[in-house]
Amino acid sequence: MTASAAKGSLLSWSGSTIGGIQSFDGPSIANPTIDVSDLSDSAREKISSGLMDPGQVTGSLWFDASNATHALLVTDCIAGNTANVVITLPDTGGTMTYSAVGIITEITPSASTGEAGTTSFTIDLTGTLTFTA
């Protein structure tokens, strides 16, 4: 198996690529199970798939207030707006893409002496998650 470099990974919000991203993690996909055994079952429990959770995308970026997409992240977080989220990851054979609708649940600016301003973000994905390899 050949590892792929993270360079070229993209995250877009509402159709626009988010520039200046330092890093991001996700989606953190979970497919929880539920116990559907009843009193007439043997000691072995029955497991069924629960509701798939498309998870979250978290990350940080070099914040630029003059960047329209950066400003949109903040205003959409305040307004509680949802938008299409697309995550594109490079792969040795092309790209892998995840897409879903998301809502920005957290925006946290950070500043310190002698450092560039950054912003961390959390996007909760909702509805159907699509994966393309």
Query: What predicted TM-score, i.e. pTM, was given to this entire model?
Result: 0.84
CA distance to 23, 37, 42, 74, per residue, from 119 (Å):
11, 46, 53, 10
Q: Is residue 43 domain-resident?
A: no
Q: Distance between CA 63 and CA 77 in Å, rounded?
A: 15
- 3-class secondary-structure state, position 125: strand
Nearest Cα neighbor of 121 from 6, 54, 26, 30 is 26
Q: Is residue 121 part of a domain?
A: yes
62 belongs to a structural domain: yes
- Environment class of 90 (CB within 10 Å of its CB; exposed 0-12, middle 13-18, buried 19+): middle
Decide if 70 is inside a domain. Answer: yes
3-state secondary structure 13-33: ECCEECCCEEEEECCCCECCE
Q: How many structural domains compose the chain?
A: 1
- Determine, yes or no, domain membership for 114: yes
Structural domain containing residue 94: 10-22+54-132
Residue 38 in domain: no
Residue in the structure block whose two tokens are 């950054």: 118
* Cβ-contact 96, 68 below 8 angstroms: no
- Residue 113 falls within a domain, yes or no? yes
Tokens encoding 34? 């539920």
* Omega of the bond leading into 54 within 30 degrees of 0 (cis): no
CATH number, domain with residue 87:
2.30.110.20
Q: Does some domain include residue 37?
A: no
| pLDDT tens per residue across all 133 residues of the chain | 455 567 889 999 999 999 999 999 999 988 888 877 777 877 666 677 778 889 999 999 999 989 999 999 999 999 999 999 999 998 777 789 999 999 999 999 999 999 889 999 999 999 899 999 8
Tell me the pairing of strands 56-62 and 118-132.
antiparallel
